[in-house]
Amino acid sequence: MYKRIVVPLDGSALAERVLPVAGHLSQSLGASIELLLVVETPVEEIPQEISALAATDADNYLKQKIKILAETVDEKKLSYSVQTGHPASLIIECAESGKSTLILMSSHVHSGMQRLLLGSVAGKVVQAATTPVLLIPANARSPEVDLVEFQRMIVPLDGSKLAECVLPHATDLCKALDMELILVRCYDPNFPGASVRMHDVSKIVHDSAENYINSKVEELKARGMTKISYRIFRGSPADQITDFAVETPNSLIAMCTHGRHGIGRWMLGSVTHAVIHCSEEPVLVIRGTARDKGWPELNADPKDRR
């Protein structure tokens, strides 16, 4: 499970919204919290004394946030650092310097076409990081209180081994936070030649999807998951996933994305991409290869899980 939570801050109220979530996760998982503020300054164009002043201000700012967190989190589990350079790159570098690390950060909410545009620091981090990233949308909150609560985890599966890479993370987190795990399978039988006997084709595809997802439910039950269910939806996966999340209070979506290297790290699967940028609920993104020695295959012996 996650032993270290890296929380990037930039001095804004939006970024600070994740601090109560960080505290909750730290208490539940026994994880340490590391606050990180990257001063994005073109050092070569700014006098050194001005750059040093910005770093000092950032240091004082993080000390204040550590003091607030220390009211609910063991001070020994709290640390911070100030760095200068490109935020996304340094956030990723910091997170990847240790194992079992989770990046926790806030994300902006846009409307229209902007919802699908990447370019923010959060967008760059979620595309390139090999460590898991938990994004908290700016307007995400519990229906009861002004704090995100995690009671249900929605895990979309498409039948691929890539999508199933999220399951070890999902099951461990659900057990640690006492969450219900909801597996979701979406299907769309609209393909060339299907219009002649659409009803028959739809039933075949539906039954296949249900058989697959039910087999995963039974497999996870055998591994100790007691609070688990599934849903089958017909239609566009991204739309169905985001709509279901909105209709499911206190939910968290967990998805896997491509496990590529090099320039390929900046490519997300189309469904994951759409969900991340359209969802009003928190989204946990796991890269397909984001497994250290603490993340064995799902079919590994449960005693090897850590």
Q: With contact defined as beta carbons under 8 Å apart, do 80 and 55 qualify?
A: no
pLDDT of residue 91: 95
Q: Does residue 3 sit in the same domain as residue 107? A: yes
Residue 49 within any structural domain of the chain: yes
Does residue 278 surpass a pLDDT of 90? no
Residues 198 and 222 in one domain: yes
Per-residue model confidence (pLDDT) at position 119: 47
145 within a domain of the structure (yes/no):
no
Q: What SS3 state is found at 283?
A: strand
Report the 10 Å Cβ neighbour count for 305. 16
* Cβ atoms within 10 Å, residue 268: 22
Q: Is residue 223 part of a domain?
A: yes
What residues have CB less than 8 Å from 180, skipping those under 6 apart? 151, 152, 153, 174, 227, 228, 229
| pLDDT above 70 (res 303) | no
Burial class (CB in 10 A: 0-12, 13-18, 19+), 98: middle
The answer to whether residue 43 scores a pLDDT higher than 80 is no
pLDDT at 126 over 90: no
The pLDDT of residue 58 is 94
pLDDT band at 301 (very low <50, low <70, confident <90, very high): very low
Buried-state track 2-40, b at ≥16 Cβ within 10 A, e below 16: bbbbbbbbbeeebbebbbebbbbbbeebebbbbbbbbbe
Task: Give 26 or 303, the one with higher predicted confidence.
Answer: 26
Q: What 8-state DSSP symbol labels residue 290?
A: -
What rounded mean pLDDT belongs to the chain? 81
CA distance 12 to 40: 14
Count how many domains the chain has. Answer: 2
Q: Are residues 192 and 244 in the same domain?
A: yes
End-to-end CA distance of the chain: 6
Range of the domain at 43: 1-139
Each residue's pLDDT tens digit, 152-199: 999 999 888 888 989 999 999 999 999 999 999 998 766 555 555 666
Query: Would you say 136 and 106 are in contact if contact means Cβ atoms under 8 Å apart?
Result: yes
DSSP for 150-205, written as a single string: --EEEEEE-S-HHHHTTHHHHHHHHHHHTPEEEEEEEE----TT-STTHHHHHHHH
174 with 292, same domain: the answer is: yes
Question: What tens digit of pLDDT does each residue of 128-145 get?
Answer: 899 999 999 876 654 444
Say whether pLDDT at 72 is over 70: yes
Do 39 and 105 belong to one domain? yes
Residue 73 clears pLDDT 70, i.e. is over it = yes
29 lies in the same domain as 122: yes
What is d(CA 212, CA 199) in angstroms, rounded to the nearest whole number? 20
pLDDT given for residue 275 in this prediction: 86
pTM over 0.75: yes
pLDDT in tens, 142-154: 444 456 789 999 9
Please indicate, yes or no, whether residues 276 and 168 belong to a single structural domain of this protein: yes
144 lies in some domain = no
**pLDDT score at 67:** 96
User: What CATH number does residue 204 fall under?
Assistant: 3.40.50.620
31 and 90: one domain?
A: yes
Q: Is the CB of residue 95 less than 8 Å from the CB of residue 131? A: yes
Are the C-beta atoms of 35 and 63 separated by less than 8 Å? no
pLDDT digits (tens, 9 = 90+) for 226-276: 999 999 999 888 899 999 998 998 899 999 886 444 333 333 457 887 888
Within 13 Å and on the Cβ side, how many CA atoms surround 58? Answer: 21
Does residue 230 lie within any of the structural domains?
A: yes
Q: Do 38 and 112 belong together in one domain?
A: yes
Residues 66 and 159 in one domain: no
What's the whole-number mean pLDDT along residues 105-126? 63
